[in-house]
Amino acid sequence: MSQTYSSSKDDLIIKYIPLVNRIVSRIEINDNALDYEDLVSVGIIGLMDAIEKFDSSKNVPFEAYAAIRIRGAVIDELRKSGKVSRDRIYKLNEYYAAKEKLEQELNRTPEEQEIIKELNVEAKELSKIYETLHYLSNVSLESVIYTKSGEEYNFMDTLKDEKEKSPEETYIDKEREKELKAAIEKLDEREQLILSLYYVEELTLKEISYVLDISIARVSQIHGKILSKLNSFIKDSMGDTDV
């Protein structure tokens, strides 16, 4: 490796360290053995990997590509360290199964107390399930909405060149966008505000908790609940029980 190439790579790392910090700051790590600085280090490794593997011929902006690699590296590390344990994923899948069962029996979206009774758990346990949903949303909002949480995600799938998409895929993407927008419109004003602050304004949970004057944990729980509601709205509109 030439000295010029090495210097250029170092310059890129320095240039995009703020991107690493921004991505890590949006991921809650309260219950993990890893701290913020640990995850920044992991994110930098993801950034270095992005620099090595970036292919400009794919017509994907480097920052977008790097963001996926950085987030992927951090999420993988958190999973390895048990942020989303198998037990939490199991309970999340139990939640989805109970929710679908009640929806079929009641022919409507079940209330929280009905889900709690079906699962035979306390309200606190349901809050933890919502927190798991919130955490998984750091991978991809669409993945949480359109697939059952807990599955493995291929981060690189989100970087497919638009030119490679078939007319059918383009149509599906547009339809999903329409469905998601319609589902968001069904949320109440506070829920729409939280989504806007988190995904549009890119505020952290800490910043949102300050704006709304509630705890960080409560913001996390509300956000997870919002994702669950969106999933139900979209599933109802599609007439599908396996969104």
CATH 1.20.140 residue window(s) in the chain: 84-243
What pLDDT, on the 0 to 100 scale, is given for residue 176? Answer: 74
Type of residue numbered 235? K
pLDDT of residue 138: 60
Question: In sequence order, what are the residues at sequence separation of 6 or more whose Cβ sits closer than 8 angstroms to the Cβ of residue 82?
Answer: 32, 33
Euclidean distance between CA atoms 74 and 67, whole angstroms: 11
Pick the CATH number of 84-243 from 1.10.760, 1.10.10, 1.20.140, 2.60.40: 1.20.140
At 146 the pLDDT is: 53
| CATH class of domain segment(s) 1-82 | mainly alpha
Q: What is the pLDDT of residue 30?
A: 56
Boundaries of CATH 1.10.1740.10 in the chain?
1-82
Residues in the chain with pLDDT values less than 50:
1-5, 148-162, 241-243
pLDDT tens for each residue of 50-105? 898 888 887 778 888 888 888 888 877 776 665 556 777 788 888 888 888 888 88
pLDDT at 155: 37
**How far, in Å, CA of 67 to CA of 226, rounded?**
25
How far, in Å, CA of 181 to CA of 237, rounded?
12
Cβ neighbours of residue 94 closer than 8 Å, sequence gap 6 or more: 119
What is the per-residue pLDDT for 81? 64
Q: What is the pLDDT of residue 6?
A: 56
pLDDT for residue 12: 87
